[in-house]
Amino acid sequence: MKTLLHYLFLLCFNILRPAVHSQCINDQQQSLLHLKKSLQFDQPSSLISWNSSTDCCSWVGVTCTSDGHVVGLDLSSKTISGPIPGSFANFSNLRVLDLSRNNISSPIPGSFASFSNLRVLGLSWNNISGTVPRFFANFSKLTSLRLSGCRLNGTFPNEIFQVPTLETVYLGSNYELGGSLPEFPKNNGSLRSLILRQTNFSGSLPESIGNLKMLSTIDLSNCSFHGSIPSLLFSLPLLSQLNLSHNQFSGELAFSNVSSNLVTLDLSFNNLEGQISVSIFNFQGLQSLNLSSNNFTAFLFNGPQQLKNLTNIDLSYNSLLSLYNGTDSSYSSFPQIDSLNLAANKLGTIPYFLRDQFALSSVDLSENHIRGKIPDWIWSSNQLSTLNLSCNYLVALDAPLPNSTVETVDLHSNQLQGKIPTFPPYAKYLDYSRNNFSSIPLNIGDFLTKTLFFSLSKNNLHGLIPASICNASNLQILNLSNNSLSGMIPQCLTAMRHLSVLNLARNNLTGSISNVEVTEDSSLQILDIGGNQLDGKVPKSLAKCTMLEVLNIGNNNITDSFPCLLKNISTLRVLILRSNNFYGGIECLNTNGTWPELQIIDLAHNNFSGEIQGILWRTWRKMMATENGSPSTILSGNAVSSYAIESCKQPFNRRCYGRVDDRASYAYDGSSLEYGVSVIVTSKGFEMELVKIISIFTLIDFSSNNFSGPIPKEMGEFKSLRVLNLSRNAFTGEIPSSFSNMRVLESLDLSQNKLSGCIPPQLAELTFLSFLDLSYNQLVGKIPTSNQFSTFPPSSFTGNKGLQRFPLTVDNKAGFPPPSTVNGRSPDSGHHHEVNWDLISAEIGFIVGFGVAVGSLVLCKRWSKWYYRAMYNILLKIFPQLEERIGIHRKHVHINQR
Ligand SMILES: *[C@@H]1O[C@H](CO)[C@@H](O)[C@H](O)[C@H]1NC(C)=O
Ligand SMILES: *[C@@H]1O[C@H](CO)[C@@H](O)[C@H](O)[C@H]1NC(C)=O
Ligand SMILES: *[C@@H]1O[C@H](CO)[C@@H](O)[C@H](O)[C@H]1NC(C)=O
Ligand SMILES: *[C@@H]1O[C@H](CO)[C@@H](O)[C@H](O)[C@H]1NC(C)=O
Ligand SMILES: *[C@@H]1O[C@H](CO)[C@@H](O)[C@H](O)[C@H]1NC(C)=O
Ligand SMILES: *[C@@H]1O[C@H](CO)[C@@H](O)[C@H](O)[C@H]1NC(C)=O
Ligand SMILES: *[C@@H]1O[C@H](CO)[C@@H](O)[C@H](O)[C@H]1NC(C)=O
Ligand SMILES: *[C@@H]1O[C@H](CO)[C@@H](O)[C@H](O)[C@H]1NC(C)=O
Ligand SMILES: *[C@@H]1O[C@H](CO)[C@@H](O)[C@H](O)[C@H]1NC(C)=O
């Protein structure tokens, strides 16, 4: 009866109003306007179409039944912020409610319990917190529950999985939302998509997941599942995407009847082991197979396969000893694939089936145990673009066919010898570093016309740098460091327009650098010519390098006064003049230039002299920035762990630097990758972010000069200074008490000066201080005993006549002359507080150079695949010393030059 009345009422109502299709009912319009009023928007214009002068059923996001009742509200991406208002409760007939991609921050309100007709609920990508309410299980018609990318937590109510109509469940990226999967009853599956990636779901997968016969997409990656993978999972008839990566699944893989619809299979980053069974080839539709980072020992294939669509195979980071060599016919029936990654296995030879691969564009066989000669046929694929054979034991290489299309060749860390082979002029990235090559062909540059990156670092190269290298006009990064190259630096080299990183460090280069010419529009960001036998003066034209960030001319024989001409380079971050014959004062009177970015200045082991005016410091703003970080990692290997953000299960491969995880994030502003780059490098089971280290590391080293006068008290303003070394000068006066403002100071060396007075008790406030040397001065009074001070050994204070330690012991050695010095350095001084320059510049360079090279490479699509690895490798290759830094837990880092 009631229904009939209601029907009649509706009928009348419709007759009274003009019969327009799904015209809005007044009370619904009022409710919608009320809703609009109660919502908060970041952009108020979001719902401008919700205007009382128009039909509310025509408003954006509103769906009505034909009788004008609102049944759908799609308010996704409408810049809604704040909590979910109660006024949604007025729409209890809703079938679709989508609030995805807003900025909503509140728990899911209890009033949602009234939406019992709801089919689709979308709340993804908001700041919604709290738990997932149990009442969703009462929504008997629910087909799609989308809650990804919120901040939900607690346990997911498993009753919801019992809703018989449920097809899609998206819970991904709720890092604190967890639970375990329930048993799924037989014949109860309408579930098609189950996305739980990046949640805290755990436990083992129930065998009964095989009852969900409709499942086509499963993504359980980055959760905490363990146990074996139920073999029934692989036989789900409609399954097309299966991603179980980054869990702790273990045991051997077992497939029985496999789904021929499977397109992508990703089981990477688990603890799976044993053989990869030949039945994997029964996934006839497979396009992408990723079994990387497990512990598989063999990949068996024999007999014909029908994997016509397979294009990508990633078996990297396993323990594969060999790929089954099978028979000739099984080789030729191996699918023609596009990319093959076998990095970091235990292969002893290059898999022979590659010989018959004509569509390969990318092959990675790095970090295996491959010996012998690189076979010619490796170049035979018509598509080959990237070949990585780095970190093996290869000894010989023929030049590839002159028609080879290869663009990226990485052969670093092998035992290749003889003359460098030339490559067809398509190569953009050539890394021959860490081999045993002995000479460079004179015409090398003619083959590098497209090359952006070229490294020959750490070989055994002798002879001159061929001037033809200047014909490589696109070169952005050139690294010839750590060889025995001799002769002069070719004049044209520094004049190359696109070159941003030039590293010639640690060779046997001679001659004067006074005449080095840099062009007006120079792109140079890093110039490292340290550790040679160069003489002359700092070239005047360097002042034109307006983008220069790192200049290392240390460990040469340069005789000059302080290079004031560099003062106008406002981008300078690192200046190393160490171990030359620089002389005179370091004041620059005729310039207003400042070094606001300066982080590292090393003038040690020169003949600089005179007093230092406090005003000098005032312009080094970077060092004055307040810094409340944690200890840097530069000084001691121990500190590496302070940057450990996540343990990594892949063992660190010293020969090959470690690995970069593709979780690394980066900021790319369209033209270059800048300081936002966050590179995660694994070392000794830890991952660390290099960027962090680079951006905070600051150092002043003026040791072993003839500076005199008092230490300016303004130095205390360097609130972000980590290392200060003023030892072996002739400083007088007291230690400024303002030093206590250098809150993050980790190493302070004032030894072998003529400092007098007491040790300011405020120094005890420097809680980061882990190295202190005040020895061989004329200090008097008591040594503070609080905090760090009690941990410093007596040698930190020795050679000060008047200094007393509690309990009162007069220093026996006081009054004796300082220990004999070798090359101006005392025999026991070369540790701990001294810093290996190679390492520092490496890390600074990491960022600078990277932006340079990869910024442009990423634009090129082929390269982007390769991106993360390149990102990591490039700078390591510019400054190979970084390997040692992250490779060895050295307690004491020391200078290994000279
Ligand atoms: C509604 O739309 C009409 C015509 O488009 C416009 O004149 C009126 O100002 C709008 N009202 C509001 C409240 O935006
Ligand atoms: C969920 O997060 C809220 C804060 O957003 C917190 O108060 C609550 O304790 C958390 N619940 C659980 C189970 O972690
Ligand atoms: C291979 O891919 C094509 C095109 O995507 C598709 O039509 C075909 O069915 C696939 N082959 C198999 C065996 O799935
Ligand atoms: C991998 O398996 C081998 C034996 O098959 C075993 O010795 C080794 O410890 C395993 N490695 C890991 C990381 O589980
Ligand atoms: C595979 O190669 C190894 C070593 O070359 C050989 O001993 C073995 O017989 C080969 N197996 C087959 C099936 O050809
Ligand atoms: C290069 O030339 C060789 C022989 O001349 C030929 O077999 C091969 O297919 C060619 N490769 C490409 C990529 O054109
Ligand atoms: C460096 O060059 C000098 C002569 O210029 C030569 O005597 C010396 O052996 C070379 N050193 C190395 C390591 O090649
Ligand atoms: C360094 O240069 C000076 C002159 O500038 C010269 O006398 C001296 O021999 C040079 N030292 C070396 C090691 O080349
Ligand atoms: C430095 O600045 C002062 C005042 O701003 C100006 O008079 C002087 O010419 C400047 N000196 C140089 C070398 O630019």
For 333-350, how does the pLDDT look when each residue is reduced to its tens digit (9 = 90+)? Answer: 678 889 999 998 999 988
| Residue 248 CA to ligand 9 centre (angstroms) | 66
Pairing of strands 200-203, 224-227: parallel
CA angle 595, 574, 721 (to 5 degrees): 75
Q: Is the pLDDT of residue 582 over 90?
A: yes
Tokens 């860390």 belong to residue:
413
Give SS3 for 242: strand
Classify residue 363 by burial, with Cβ atoms within 10 Å: 0-12, 13-18, 19+: buried
Percentage of the chain beyond pLDDT 90 is 43
670 or 315, which is more confident: 315
Q: How many CB atoms lie within 10 A of CB 268?
A: 23
Q: Is the pLDDT of residue 402 over 90?
A: no
What number does the ligand 2 atom closest to the CA of 129 have? 5
Ligand nearest to the CA of 510: 7
Please tell me the predicted confidence (pLDDT) of residue 332.
Answer: 61
What number does the ligand 7 atom closest to the CA of 462 have? 14
Q: For 757-788, how does the pLDDT look when each residue is reduced to its tens digit (9 = 90+)?
A: 999 988 888 888 888 999 999 999 988 877 77
| Both structure tokens of 481 | 């460091």
Residue 384 to residue 363: CA distance in whole angstroms: 8
Tell me the average pLDDT across 67-72: 90
Q: Quick check: is 797 in a domain?
A: no
Question: What is the number of helices (H) and of strands (E) in the chain?
Answer: 9, 58
Please tell me the predicted confidence (pLDDT) of residue 662.
Answer: 24
Per-residue buried b or exposed e for 883-898, using 16+ beta carbons within 10 Å of the residue's own CB:
bbbbbeeeeebebeee
Is any ligand 5 atom within 6 A of the Cβ of residue 325? yes
Is any ligand 4 atom within 6 A of the Cβ of residue 275? no
Q: Is the pLDDT of residue 322 over 60?
A: yes
Of 92-101, 397-406, 526-535, least confident by mean pLDDT is 397-406
Pocket test for ligand 6, best of 380, 383, 385, 404 (most atoms within 8 A of CB): 380
Tell me the average pLDDT across 216-233: 95
Please tell me the predicted confidence (pLDDT) of residue 49.
Answer: 86
Ligand nearest to the CA of 294: 4
Is any ligand 3 atom within 6 A of the Cβ of residue 335? no
847 or 263, which is more confident: 263
Cβ–Cβ under 8 Å, residues 574 and 673: no
Give SS3 for 374: strand
Binned at pLDDT 50, 70 and 90, residue 647 comes out as: very low
Q: Quick check: is 679 in a domain?
A: yes
Please tell me the predicted confidence (pLDDT) of residue 135.
Answer: 95
Please tell me the predicted confidence (pLDDT) of residue 573.
Answer: 84
Q: Is the pLDDT of residue 255 over 60?
A: yes
Ligand nearest to the CA of 252: 4
What number does the ligand 4 atom closest to the CA of 295 have? 1
Please tell me the predicted confidence (pLDDT) of residue 854.
Answer: 33
| Both structure tokens of 410 | 């990485």
Classify residue 83 by burial, with Cβ atoms within 10 Å: 0-12, 13-18, 19+: middle
CB-defined site of ligand 1, < 6 Å: 51, 53
Is any ligand 2 atom within 6 A of the Cβ of residue 107? no
| Both structure tokens of 379 | 């170049």
Is any ligand 4 atom within 6 A of the Cβ of residue 650? no
| Residue 556 CA to ligand 8 centre (angstroms) | 9
The residues, ordered by sequence, that sit 6+ positions from 639 with a Cβ below 8 Å of its Cβ are: 631, 632, 633
Residue 443 to residue 468: CA distance in whole angstroms: 6
| Residue 496 CA to ligand 8 centre (angstroms) | 29
Q: Quick check: is 884 in a domain?
A: yes
Of 227-231, 518-522, 567-571, least confident by mean pLDDT is 518-522
Binned at pLDDT 50, 70 and 90, residue 295 comes out as: very high
Q: Quick check: is 756 in a domain?
A: no
| Residue 619 CA to ligand 9 centre (angstroms) | 15
Please tell me the predicted confidence (pLDDT) of residue 177.
Answer: 96
User: Which residue, by CA, sits nearest to atom 8 of ligand 9?
Assistant: 592
The mean pLDDT value of the chain amounts to 78
Ligand nearest to the CA of 59: 1
What number does the ligand 1 atom closest to the CA of 53 have? 1
What is the phi/psi pair of residue 469, to 5°?
A: -60, -25
Ligand nearest to the CA of 353: 5
Please tell me the predicted confidence (pLDDT) of residue 759.
Answer: 92
Is any ligand 2 atom within 6 A of the Cβ of residue 154? yes
Please tell me the predicted confidence (pLDDT) of residue 879.
Answer: 39
Q: What sign has the CA pseudo-torsion 887, 888, 892, 893? A: negative
Q: Quick check: is 644 in a domain?
A: yes
| Residue 576 CA to ligand 9 centre (angstroms) | 27
Q: For 518-566, how does the pLDDT look when each residue is reduced to its tens digit (9 = 90+)?
A: 888 888 888 889 899 999 999 999 998 998 888 889 899 999 999 999 9
Terminus-to-terminus CA distance in the chain, angstroms?
Answer: 103
Q: What sign has the CA pseudo-torsion 780, 784, 785, 787? A: negative
Of 130, 97, 127, 128, the residue nearest 112 (C-alpha): 97
Q: Is the pLDDT of residue 679 over 50?
A: no
Please tell me the predicted confidence (pLDDT) of residue 188.
Answer: 67
What number does the ligand 2 atom closest to the CA of 153 have? 1
Cβ–Cβ under 8 Å, residues 177 and 154: yes
Residue 772 to residue 788: CA distance in whole angstroms: 10
Q: Is the pLDDT of residue 325 over 90?
A: no
Sheet holding 248-252, edge to edge: 129-130, 151-155, 176-179, 200-203, 224-227, 248-252, 271-276, 295-299
Helix (H) or strand (E) holding 11: helix 2-16
User: Which residue, by CA, sits nearest to atom 12 of ligand 8?
Assistant: 557
| Residue 267 CA to ligand 3 centre (angstroms) | 22
Pocket test for ligand 6, best of 361, 377, 401 (most atoms within 8 A of CB): 401
Please tell me the predicted confidence (pLDDT) of residue 849.
Answer: 35
CA angle 554, 618, 756 (to 5 degrees): 80
Cβ-defined contacts of 734-739 (< 8 Å, 24+): 734/710, 734/758, 734/760, 735/711, 735/759, 735/760, 735/763, 735/774, 735/779, 736/710, 736/711, 736/712, 736/760, 737/713, 737/762, 738/713, 738/714, 739/715, 739/763, 739/766
Q: Quick check: is 810 in a domain?
A: no
Q: What sign has the CA pseudo-torsion 42, 43, 44, 48? A: negative
Please tell me the predicted confidence (pLDDT) of residue 664.
Answer: 24
| Residue 732 CA to ligand 5 centre (angstroms) | 78
Q: Is the pLDDT of residue 617 over 80?
A: no
User: Which residue, by CA, sits nearest to atom 6 of ligand 8?
Assistant: 557
User: Which residue, by CA, sits nearest to atom 9 of ligand 4?
Assistant: 295
679 or 89, which is more confident: 89
Please tell me the predicted confidence (pLDDT) of residue 669.
Answer: 21
Give SS3 for 515: coil
Tell me the average pLDDT across 609-619: 81
Q: For 849-876, how does the pLDDT look when each residue is reduced to its tens digit (9 = 90+)?
A: 333 333 223 222 223 223 333 333 433 4
Rg of the chain over all Cα atoms, to the nearest angstrom: 34
Tokens 């460079």 belong to residue:
440
Residue 898 to residue 889: CA distance in whole angstroms: 23
Binned at pLDDT 50, 70 and 90, residue 805 comes out as: low
Is any ligand 5 atom within 6 A of the Cβ of residue 302? no
Residue 893 to residue 638: CA distance in whole angstroms: 11
Ligand nearest to the CA of 348: 5
Q: What sign has the CA pseudo-torsion 728, 731, 732, 735? A: negative
Please tell me the predicted confidence (pLDDT) of residue 77.
Answer: 92
pTM here is 0.76
Q: For 155-172, how does the pLDDT look when each residue is reduced to its tens digit (9 = 90+)?
A: 999 999 999 999 999 999
Please tell me the predicted confidence (pLDDT) of residue 806.
Answer: 55
What is the phi/psi pair of residue 111, to 5°?
A: -65, -20
Please tell me the predicted confidence (pLDDT) of residue 676.
Answer: 22
Cα–Cα distances in angstroms (integers) from residue 404 to residues 379, 382, 396, 427, in the given order: 7, 7, 18, 9
Tokens 């021959």 belong to residue:
432
Cβ–Cβ under 8 Å, residues 448 and 427: yes
Helix (H) or strand (E) holding 852: helix 837-859
Tokens 């507080």 belong to residue:
833
Beta bridge partners of 295: 273
Q: Quick check: is 877 in a domain?
A: yes
Helix axis angle, 867-878 to 837-859, nearest 10°: 140
Q: Quick check: is 658 in a domain?
A: yes
| Residue 713 CA to ligand 9 centre (angstroms) | 26
Is any ligand 8 atom within 6 A of the Cβ of residue 559? yes
Beta strand ranges found along 291-403 (DSSP E): 295-299, 312-314, 339-341, 362-364, 371-374, 386-388, 393-397
Give SS3 for 638: helix
Binned at pLDDT 50, 70 and 90, residue 22 comes out as: low
891 or 181, which is more confident: 181
| Both structure tokens of 393 | 């034991």
Of 489-498, 617-626, 858-867, least confident by mean pLDDT is 858-867
Range of the domain at 853: 635-694+842-892
Residue 129 to residue 121: CA distance in whole angstroms: 16
User: Which residue, by CA, sits nearest to atom 8 of ligand 6?
Assistant: 380
| Residue 16 CA to ligand 1 centre (angstroms) | 26
User: Which residue, by CA, sits nearest to atom 10 of ligand 5?
Assistant: 325
What is the phi/psi pair of residue 22, to 5°?
A: 40, 55
Of 794, 801, 734, 791, the residue nearest 766 (C-alpha): 791
Binned at pLDDT 50, 70 and 90, residue 130 comes out as: very high
Amino acid symbol at 898: R
Ligand nearest to the CA of 273: 4
Pocket test for ligand 5, best of 300, 321, 325, 371 (most atoms within 8 A of CB): 325
Cβ–Cβ under 8 Å, residues 305 and 281: yes
Give SS3 for 878: helix
Q: For 449-483, how does the pLDDT look when each residue is reduced to its tens digit (9 = 90+)?
A: 988 888 898 899 999 999 999 999 988 888 898 89
Q: How many CB atoms lie within 10 A of CB 18?
A: 7
Pocket test for ligand 2, best of 106, 152, 153 (most atoms within 8 A of CB): 153
| Both structure tokens of 24 | 């809005």
Please tell me the predicted confidence (pLDDT) of residue 1.
Answer: 44
| Both structure tokens of 829 | 């001084």
Please tell me the predicted confidence (pLDDT) of residue 766.
Answer: 87
Q: Is the pLDDT of residue 656 over 80?
A: no
Please tell me the predicted confidence (pLDDT) of residue 163.
Answer: 92
Percentage of the chain beyond pLDDT 70 is 76
Would you say how long the chain is, in residues? 898
Cα–Cα distances in angstroms (integers) from residue 576 to residues 529, 567, 573, in the given order: 10, 14, 10
Please state whether the peptide bond connecting residue 807 to the residue before it is cis, i.e. omega within 30 degrees of 0. yes
| Residue 542 CA to ligand 5 centre (angstroms) | 62
The count of domains in the chain is 1
| Residue 653 CA to ligand 1 centre (angstroms) | 67
